[in-house]
Chains A and B, each alone.
Chain A
Amino acid sequence: MKTITSSIKKATSFVLLTLLTSISFSQENPSLSDAEVASVAVVANQIDISYADIAMKRSKNKDILEFAERMITDHNAVIEQAVALVTKLNVSPKDNAVSQSLMDGSEKTKKMLKKANKKEFDKLYIDNEVAYHKAVISAIKKLLIPETDNAELKKLLETVLPALEAHLGHAEMVQNKI
């Protein structure tokens, strides 16, 4: 039991460190074009969908499965809105250091989630969801919204914030049950 708790703590620290590195990296490089902001927004949503896909395959817990299914549906809805907007604005999301850093961090997290013991998976997944949503909410407020020039893109980011906050609240409720 001690071993499991210890490995969960280590893995949670790893997730938090990865997220903090991504966010602090992005804050040191605050200059983003709208095309780059759009890329970061799409990548951030894709990452959470990829975590949920792993949870759908690995978890048997009803609360985790419902949460993961919700993440897939809602984050796909955000991506659809973002794609519709950039198509309308005739802008192509542009890969950049922040989106790349997020992708790199997510690869490490996905490896950790895939390798995790079945008994510890649910806790690792939901702890990561809480940390990830906190980090993304902070990044949208402090980096993406201030960096966005286009009013419609800014409005989309502002619209997504309450959803991310609702996801965070939901994740914390599941976290308390696990």
Chain B
Amino acid sequence: MKHTHKKMTDLSRLGTGESAHITGIHAPDDIRQRLQAMGLRTGREALVIRCTRLGPMQVRIGSIDLIMRRRDAARVAIATTQ
């Protein structure tokens, strides 16, 4: 029997090519508002296109590609299916 369980973590932990569903944003109201307006909304799938150790990450959410710092990606809670 195959077990699937969800693991909660944040977007900055994902590596290139990995994807997960967004479960929420942990940030002050105004910053959350901004991140949501740019497409980081609960329920959407985020796919990491590119990430390096120092620079920002490139994340694809549906039809939009975003570049964001790890610090900000860490504000995005995700659930990965394993």
Does B associate with A?
A: no
